[in-house]
Amino acid sequence: MHALKQPVAEAEPAAAPPSVVPHPAAVRPVPVAKAAEPAAARQWRNAQLRGRLKSALLWLISLSALFAVWYFGTKYRVDFYIRFTNIPAPADVFDKLLEVNRSEKFITNVGISVRRILSGFGIATLIAVPLGLLIGRYRTARDLLMPIAEVLRPIPAIAWVPMSIMLWPTNEVSIVYITFLGSFFPILLNTVHGVTGFDPVLIRAARCLGAGEGRLFWNVILPGALPHIFTGLAVGMGVAWVSLIAAEMISGQFGVGYFTWEAYSLVNYAEIALGMITIGVLGLACSGAIQMIGSTLMPWSTYAAAGRKEP
């Protein structure tokens, strides 16, 4: 048996050919300066830190600008086509936040909305992901199921509100159904896309490594489609909130959407703003959660090439 004469270079193979008898006039290896290593590391760390500080500063500037428009707009009661005259000031909204937290009503509304989102979005995920994988992989599933999807997809979830109220036994279920519908199609279509856009060479590679259809599905197609599935989940979550709030405003009892609409009916300006902000914060938290789950499940995605411009 002919063993390797020396271990292959750890770094880029081109740098140090293994098991080659060095040519007499071989290039002398340049000694790597040991001291250069920590300096480079420090430099890199400093550059990272500077980059992060700069990002934080820009974030702060942009958010302060938005807040300033609100603050000064309401303070000086600006009335220049846009009317700030009836808009509550930041301090009023903050006071309202403290006030509503003294009773159960507000927090119950928030809880109900979150529960509706989690059920609607959760059911949509559980159905749309497996369905999307099947539709993407199998012609029969595609021909059987895609016509239904294509016919129903152009109908916005909100347009379902009246029908949904008639269709389902309780108001609660019909609102969850609207939320489900809103998130279902983005998740389904992105999952299908994740499978159909799959690099066929990976499937071939898996097959000649002994993967049968079942294992191929589980070990290759699912993880391979995961980035697209998560795109679908992120989009779906956004649409789920849009649909939920609309449904709550139209047909609801309870929920943040209902809270906001009720505040409008009662001409309670501070509560309108508080409702809006709450909806925004909840939506942000939900997409943040999806992003976090995504990067935990897909640690490799950090290394994939992205369109971000190098600093």
Partner 1 sequence: MSTKTNEPGRGAIDINDMGVVFNARGTMVEAVSSVDLKVRPGEFVSLIGPSGCGKSTLLNIVAGFVEPTSGSVLVDGKTIRGPSSDRGVVFQQYSLFPWLSVRKNVEFGLKMKGVAASQRETQARTLLGLAGLLAFENHYPDQLSGGMKQRVGIVRALATSPQVLLMDEPFGALDAQTRTVMQEILTNMWQQFRISVLFVTHDIEESIFLSDRIYVMTARPGRIKAEITVPLPRPRTPEMTYTPEFIALVQQLKGLIREESLAAMGSELKEGGLSGFGVEVGPKGVGEMV
Q: At what angle do helices 171-196 and 139-152 cross, to 10 degrees?
A: 130
Q: Are 261 and 249 in contact (CB under 8 A)?
A: yes
Told to check if 126 binds partner 1 by CB under 8 A, we report no
Among 41, 61, 209, 284, binds partner 1 (CB under 8 A): 209
Output the smallest distance, CB 217 to partner 1, in A: 13
For residues 18 and 90, which CB has a smaller minimum distance to partner 1 in the complex? 18
Q: Nearest-CA neighbor of 185 among 151, 225, 218, 144?
A: 151
Measured CA to CA in angstroms, residue 40 lies from 15, 34, 46, 55, 154 at distances of 20, 11, 10, 23, 55
- Any idea what DSSP says for residue 102? T
> Least distance (Å) from partner 1 to the CB of residue 188?
22
220 binds partner 1 per the rule CB under 8 A: yes
Which residues inside 240-299 make contact with partner 1, applying CB under 8 A? Answer: 298-299
Q: Interacting stretch for partner 1, rule CB under 8 A, among 115-123, 131-139, 150-158, 208-216?
A: 208-216
**Nearest CA to 216 among 228, 204, 226, 227?**
204
Nearer to partner 1 among residue 205 and residue 281 (C-beta): 205
Check binding of 98 to partner 1 (CB under 8 A): no
Compute the least distance from the CB of residue 28 to partner 1, in Å: 18
Q: Pick one of 10, 150, 154, 169: the residue that binds partner 1 (CB under 8 A).
A: 10
Nearest residue to 282 via CA among 237, 251, 235: 237
304 forms part of the interface with partner 1 (CB under 8 A): yes
Residues in the chain: 311
Residue ranges in 11-30 that form contacts with partner 1 under rule CB under 8 A: 12-14, 17-21
